A and B are shown apart, each in its own frame.
Chain A
């Protein structure tokens, strides 16, 4: 089961002798662009064919290529690592089962995976909310933000990253999702649109506004925190 041409940046780092367990975050790693295969997709087309036939090895190859990105996205939506990993597993099992229905090549499968992950995360959040509401009917509605925050937010080592995560929660849901899919998931704007069910223009508008808002809020937070700040997008 080789995924040679299409190795995600984190896997390439691992190959060069870094921590194989991957427990450290991307902070310590130099950022590299994703390696793409010749056709420009996330993994070879033969693998895509295997997925459409329900071949578990092909699904495994897709896992190796995309699991890091998907996990990052899932952990941004559902900040508990164990839950995110379970959702990741469930998403790939869905791919194994429903892969036959996907039309298109590797790129379509990638979009399908992120869409499935997106909805799995949403379902989980809603379930948790519903459960919390059922338990505390007479109390105030649990803030949506609480279901989005979790152990991972506390575990982030970098102060700045913690700021970034907190600030991201202040954006609208849609802006945040667009930014997460674009930057953490590595999807293009059209692909993001397909995951969220939005047009290209809507995605770009959300992305642009989200970036501006994030920069503004971070500037404010960083200025309040310390003078040494990373340069913002503005």
Chain B
């Protein structure tokens, strides 16, 4: 023992704050544990729920006991590992949906290096896309947000590069092809606020498309969804959710097209509507022109209308502006937007409803 080795070995131990490495290793082997993913997701979800309950209770002046009761009942659901697995099929609005999102959040946090993060983002994008497809018939109102989130995740995956990035690009084109189907199922009113912002309108690999559109002729090109192509550039926060575009997209390709759109379709006017919202992102849809032409459509919910506007001007924005108008993509894609590639984003702006087309700031945004 240390007694002979070091004269005041024992005294030293009392004076120092040190670790015995052999003991350390033994104890860590015997006791160290890691929290597994399901448990971590449950706990983080519980923390979120507790915070929200408390905030709500504080506002409502309810007693703490009520908060505890709510938490307990929720905890019953969450405490089973089955809950996490069962939440995989949840759609927005389902009680387990927040648990599902909480699990994803945990995975994101745990992904420390960029490649893992890209994989997780890609998986999330797939999930959002799956949810969007499933919700298209039953709950169309959540689809635009889901599509938007899809593109956010896709962009994140693409930015980080690696194997996940190329898969993300493939997924993006798949979404682009299919989103028109979803758009068809959507009703214009659902056009959500333009949050498009960050999403890239993935649809349409955006071939800049014929610039003629830029002239705003965008005849009922509601499809703008293609708008700002997936360029990695983070679409300006302003992007208005192209979702409205989705509605607009209808006019173009869909036979039925959104009703509100019908009117505008004739002229690329709809672009006017879109333009206003035109996501600030680069998709400079070349809006400007429309405002006058399409005024009527713009007035309607703005959401739907804007989409209409997109088709027109978009051509300009294509370049890469994908300002995030992805959500609208769904409907837009139908438009095959080669031109709209850039548009979608700007079109997303429909929320603005104002017709101000963003000057093509986004032009020339490099595609990711």
- The chain A residues found within 8 Å of chain B, CB to CB, are 1-4, 7, 10-12, 14-16, 20-27, 31, 54-56, 59-61, 63-64, 67-68, 71-73, 75-76, 81, 85-86, 88-89, 92-93, 96-97, 156, 158, 160-162, 164-165, 168, 179-180, 182-184, 188-190, 200-201, 204-205, 207-208, 211-212, 214-215, 218, 230-234
Q: Are the CB atoms of B34 and A68 closer together than 8 Å?
A: yes
Which of B29, B35, B44, B109 gathers the greatest number of chain A CB atoms within 10 Å? Answer: B35
Q: Is the pair A21, B46 in contact by a Cβ cutoff of 8 Å?
A: no
Chain B residues within an 8 Å CB radius of A158: 29-30
Taking CB atoms, residues of chain B closer than 8 Å to A190 are 17
Q: Least Cβ distance of A231 to chain B in Å?
A: 6
Q: A233 and B109: CB pair below 8 A?
A: no
- Which among A26, A59, A67 is the interface contact of B35 at CB below 8 angstroms? A67
Which residue of A56, A156, A230, A233 contacts B51 across the interface (Cβ within 8 Å)? A56
Q: Mark B46-86, 1 if CB is under 8 A from A, else 0.
A: 11101110100000000000000001000000010000000
Q: Which of B14, B23, B51 has the most CB of A within 10 A?
A: B23
Point out the residue from B20, B30, B116 that lies within 8 Å of A15, measured CB to CB.
B116
The residues of A that contact B138 with a CB separation of less than 8 Å are: none
Taking the closest CB of chain A, its distance from the CB of B253, in whole angstroms, is 40
Candidates A3, A26, A211; contact of B32 at CB < 8 Å: A26
* CA of A24 to CA of B37, assembled, Å: 12
The CA of A25 and the CA of B31, in the complex, are separated in Å by 8
On whether the beta carbons of B46 and A89 are closer than 8 Å, the reply is yes
* Residues 24-38 of chain B, each 1 if its beta carbon lies under 8 Å from chain A, else 0: 111111111111111
Q: Any chain A CB within 8 A of the CB of B94?
A: no
Query: At the interface, is chain A mostly helix, strand, loop or mixed?
Result: helix
CA distance A99 to B51 in the complex (A): 12
A-B pairs with beta carbons under 8 Å apart, 8 shown: A2-B109, A26-B31, A31-B25, A156-B30, A164-B26, A204-B13, A218-B26, A233-B20
Chain B contacts for A162, CB-based, 8 A: 30
Most buried by B among A10, A23, A88, A93: A93
Contact yes or no, A67 B29, CB < 8 A? no
- In the bound complex, residues from chain B placing their C-beta under 8 Å from that of A72 are 31-33
- Check B23 against A22 for contact (C-beta < 8 Å): no
Question: Are B30 and A164 neighbours in the complex by a CB distance under 8 Å?
Answer: yes
Choose one: B20, B31, B105; the contact of A75 (CB below 8 Å).
B31
